[in-house]
Amino acid sequence: MIKFLKENVYASYVLTLVRLYLGYEWIQAGWHKLTGAEPFNAQGFLMGAVKKATGDHPVVQSWWANFLDAFAIPNVGLFNFLVPYGEFLVGLGLILGALTTAAAFFGILMNYAFMFSGSTSTNVQMSLLTIFILVAGFNAGKIGLDRWIIPYIKKAVKKDATLEA
């Protein structure tokens, strides 16, 4: 299965469809936050997640709630910037097939942060689909800008390594 995802031309077509779907979902979420009537503010979400760490059946793990309480909430301004721009850029990268693996990685990282905070929504489904993109690597972005970007990066890195030797 892994070889199929990484090398098969038909897999690259299916992965392109998956990539476009995920990219659309991410870009929509980010765009909505960037252009909404009111500025995006993650403070309510973060404080709600901390509250979900209490009770008989907590939805949020205590270690995550401690992280949110000690770091995320005091730095909510950083998260107010990172979340909408991160969602938008992940979506753009997936739609264009540009730095696809990096976009997928940061997308799944955000999805896990949302799930750790007690949100399920489409995060589980999006995480599962993103795993296929991560496993496929370059093949997931082959029908996209990665066809040109990745060889350019590899050539530049190889040239740099040769200069250092």
| Maximum alpha-carbon separation in the chain | 61
DSSP secondary structure letter of residue 133: H
Question: Burial of 3 by CB count in 10 Å (0-12 exposed, 13-18 middle, 19+ buried)?
Answer: exposed
Give the pLDDT of the chain (165 residues) as one tens digit per residue: 889 999 999 999 999 999 999 999 999 999 999 998 889 999 999 999 999 999 889 999 999 999 999 999 999 999 999 999 999 999 999 999 999 999 999 999 999 999 999 998 899 999 999 999 999 999 999 999 999 999 998 888 887 667 666
